[in-house]
């Protein structure tokens, strides 16, 4: 009898233990909610460093549906509307991507606390949940191109004398507890050396009330959060200079390169087709930022499909960083020895590419080894492991099955050079006129004729055999009224004759370029740590103005694009980049 009683007690305890364990597991499950969750520390799921066996593409291809993690309580990016549907900027973007792929869109609610874990354990295929691309998260997940450029900004009283962030030195600044504003303030203070006294508040309303009552001199928050405040004219204003950037991107599991490439190509497709402009207009009433998503060559006219990308996860046979760190040498392709009589555009481009490399290796404390005359086979050299990176690579989708491509550091493309005092801006203004073109540019005559025909404006063409004669043909010989060609060839003439020549801005067209070639750096495919080192380094060069200075000989200063900088520390894997 005692033995039976003992067995019963043991079984009872086991049952209670199982029940408690089950209940705890149930409590840990995410519960749909429209109430903003409390920000609390979370533990790593323990799978962030696990290598993937297959791409997230595999399940999407197999099931014909994509599970997208979305926020349900973060308008205007994501919310559950009165019809029980997920709406918002992020939701519309995710739905548009699914439609482009021809798969079923399946929204899954996540919170800011559960989103990354939901992705890591495979509960969702990707996150479109107002995820800020922060550098500290790059060790856990992988981000797409930035699709929305947000920022943390400083709100001051309308009558405050502050114009720049530097004007806030030694003043009182408020922020809302447990929001990204605290990190943004800390990073800004660390990089600028500007000291402020910070004050925490539980809500934004409390912080703004404190500002109005002169308890603090500024409040830092996301720009969108200040929309209502700014609608009350005369109350407060936002300083033009941002405290910190908040670039939003789609998130996938780390090193899922093919899935990331499909997402990036789709973002470029949606921009090109005008869908991103429609979403931007619907939720913010503004124009989608020009060049926020650079469109690479080879994008094509049709929507990219999941079955066009492999479902495997290729890993490098050798990672670049260990080899570079052990040898102290970075092997660079994409450089050729230029002769003294090359055209000015080629000489300037060579100087730029070498300067970019020298700046990078200086940050890394390394030496550079240029692989001679490696322009034509630069991508293949990186793909085969004979080069660590290749500079001066046009961003093109045809390369992405062999290498990864960084964000662009340079832009050039077709422009129209005219006399400074002439009012010629577009091909509409050139009916019956003579347009000069460069003999060294294949297909340029066809492009000129096509542009003229598109506005029913016939033109005559004059061929310029030597690049250095372009300005003379307009100013002296007058064989051409304008010159159409690559900006690389035109800018030296404009910079030499600033009072006589200019590049047209195409009148009311918001885009002064007739086409674009984005130039970046090729690195080994799916070697994510090395790619991040290159990306961070380029961003730091942009942050301190070095990159903009290097670009001055090849781009007009006012046309140098704004470089996206991901928030986070400037230290990475032992490299001090800041």
- pLDDT tens-digit series, residues 473-500: 999 988 999 999 999 999 999 999 999 9
527 secondary structure, DSSP code: -
Band (pLDDT 50/70/90 cuts) for residue 314 is very high
Domains of the chain: residue spans and CATH: 56-140+254-308 (3.40.190.10), 150-243 (3.40.190.10), 320-412+516-576 (3.40.190.10), 414-503 (3.40.190.10)
Residue 174: per-residue pLDDT: 97
Task: Decide: helix, strand or coil at residue 98.
Answer: helix
Per DSSP, the residues of 212-257 read HTTS-SEEEEEGGGGHHHHHSTTSEEE-SS-SEEEEEEEEEETT-H
297 secondary structure, DSSP code: B
Task: Tally Cβ neighbours within 10 Å of residue 8.
Answer: 10
Task: Decide: helix, strand or coil at residue 420.
Answer: coil
Give yes or no for residue 150 having a pLDDT over 50.
Answer: yes
Q: Which residues contact 148 (CB under 8 A, 6 or more apart)?
A: 89, 247, 248, 292
Phi (first) and psi of residue 311, to 5 degrees: -100, 10
- The rounded percent of the chain whose pLDDT value lies above 70 is 90
Q: Are strands 73-74 and 78-80 parallel, antiparallel or unpaired?
A: antiparallel
| Whole-structure pTM value | 0.89
Could you tell me the two tokens for 7? 């067995």
* Section 41-61 average pLDDT: 68
Band (pLDDT 50/70/90 cuts) for residue 53 is confident
CA 47 → CA 59, 78, 135, 497, distances in Å?
19, 27, 19, 60
- The rounded percent of the chain whose pLDDT value lies above 90 is 84
Query: Lowest-confidence range among 38-42, 81-85, 416-420, 509-513?
Result: 38-42
CB 429 within 8 A of CB 423: yes
Is residue 70 within a helix (H) or strand (E), and if so which, with residue range? strand 65-71
To which residue do tokens 């994510």 refer? 528
Give yes or no for residue 78 having a pLDDT over 60.
Answer: yes
Residue 231: per-residue pLDDT: 63
CA dist 400 and 57 (Å) reads 16
* Section 326-339 average pLDDT: 95
Band (pLDDT 50/70/90 cuts) for residue 12 is very low
CA dist 128 and 92 (Å) reads 10
Give yes or no for residue 380 having a pLDDT over 70.
Answer: yes
Task: Tally Cβ neighbours within 10 Å of residue 248.
Answer: 22
Residue 232: per-residue pLDDT: 63
Task: Tally Cβ neighbours within 10 Å of residue 401.
Answer: 14
Residue 229: per-residue pLDDT: 67
CA 349 → CA 309, 470, 550, distances in Å?
34, 18, 10
Q: Which residues contact 331 (CB under 8 A, 6 or more apart)?
A: 369, 371, 386, 387, 388, 389
| Helices 528-543, 344-364: inter-axial angle, 10-degree rounding | 110
CB 237 within 8 A of CB 258: no
Mean residue pLDDT across the chain: 90
Maximum CA pair distance of the chain?
A: 118
Residue 496: per-residue pLDDT: 96
Residue 578: per-residue pLDDT: 86
Residue 21: per-residue pLDDT: 33
Query: Lowest-confidence range among 9-23, 258-272, 378-392?
Result: 9-23
To which residue do tokens 């079923």 refer? 104
């Amino acid at each position: 009898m005692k033995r039976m009683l003992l067995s019963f007690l043991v079984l009872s305890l086991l049952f209670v233990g199982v029940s408690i364990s089950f209940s705890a597991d149930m409590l840990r499950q995410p519960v749909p909610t429209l109430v903003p969750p409390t920000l609390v520390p979370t533990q790593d799921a323990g799978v962030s460093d696990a290598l993937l066996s297959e791409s997230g593409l595999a399940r999407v291809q197999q099931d014909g549906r994509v599970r997208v993690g979305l926020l349900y309580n973060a308008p205007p990016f994501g919310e559950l509307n009165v019809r029980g549907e997920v709406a918002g900027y992020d939701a519309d973007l995710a739905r548009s991507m699914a439609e482009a792929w021809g798969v079923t869109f399946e929204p899954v609610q996540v919170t800011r606390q559960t989103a990354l874990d939901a992705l890591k354990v495979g509960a969702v295929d990707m996150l479109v949940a107002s995820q800020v691309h922060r550098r500290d998260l790059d060790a856990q997940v992988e981000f797409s191109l930035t699709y929305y450029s947000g920022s943390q900004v400083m709100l001051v009283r309308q009558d405050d004398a502050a114009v720049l962030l530097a004007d806030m030195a030694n003043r009182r600044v408020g922020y809302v507890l447990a929001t990204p504003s605290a990190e943004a303030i800390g990073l800004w203070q660390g990089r600028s050396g500007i000291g402020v006294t910070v004050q925490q508040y539980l809500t934004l309303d409390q912080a703004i009330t404190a500002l109005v009552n002169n308890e603090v001199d500024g409040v830092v928050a996301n720009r969108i959060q200040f929309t209502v405040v700014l609608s009350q004219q005369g109350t407060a204003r936002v300083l033009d200079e941002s405290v910190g950037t908040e670039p939003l991107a789609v998130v996938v599991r780390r090193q899922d390169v093919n899935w990331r490439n499909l997402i990036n190509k789709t973002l470029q497709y949606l921009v090109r087709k005008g869908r991103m402009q429609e979403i931007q207009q619907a939720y913010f009433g503004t124009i989608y930022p020009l060049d926020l998503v650079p469109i690479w060559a080879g994008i094509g006219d049709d929507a990219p499909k999941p079955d066009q990308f492999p479902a495997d996860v290729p890993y490098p046979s050798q990672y670049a960083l260990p080899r570079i760190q052990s040898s102290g040498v970075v092997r660079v392709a994409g450089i050729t020895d230029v002769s003294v009589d090359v055209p000015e555009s080629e000489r300037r481009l060579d100087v730029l590419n070498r300067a970019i490399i020298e700046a990078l290796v200086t940050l890394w404390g390394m030496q550079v080894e240029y692989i001679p005359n490696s322009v034509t086979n630069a991508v293949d050299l990186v793909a085969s492991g004979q080069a660590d990176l290749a500079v001066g690579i046009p961003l093109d989708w045809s390369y992405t099955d062999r290498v990864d491509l960084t964000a662009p550091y340079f832009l050039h493309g077709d422009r129209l050079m005219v006399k400074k005092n002439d009012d010629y801006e577009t091909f509409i203004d050139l009916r019956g006129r003579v347009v000069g073109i460069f003999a060294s540019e294949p297909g340029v005559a066809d492009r000129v004729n096509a542009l003229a025909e598109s506005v029913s404006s016939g033109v005559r063409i004059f061929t310029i055999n030597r690049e250095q004669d372009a300005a003379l043909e307009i100013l002296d010989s007058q064989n051409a009224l304008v010159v159409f060609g690559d900006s690389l060839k035109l800018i030296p003439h404009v910079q030499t004759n600033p009072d006589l020549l200019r590049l047209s801005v195409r009148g009311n067209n918001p885009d002064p370029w007739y086409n674009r070639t984005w130039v970046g750096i090729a690195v080994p495919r799916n070697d994510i740590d090395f790619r991040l080192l290159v990306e961070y380094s380029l961003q730091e060069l942009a942050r301190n103005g070095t990159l903009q200075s290097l670009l001055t000989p090849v781009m007009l200063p006012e046309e140098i694009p704004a470089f996206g900088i991901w928030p986070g520390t400037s230290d990475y894997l032992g490299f001090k980049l800041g």
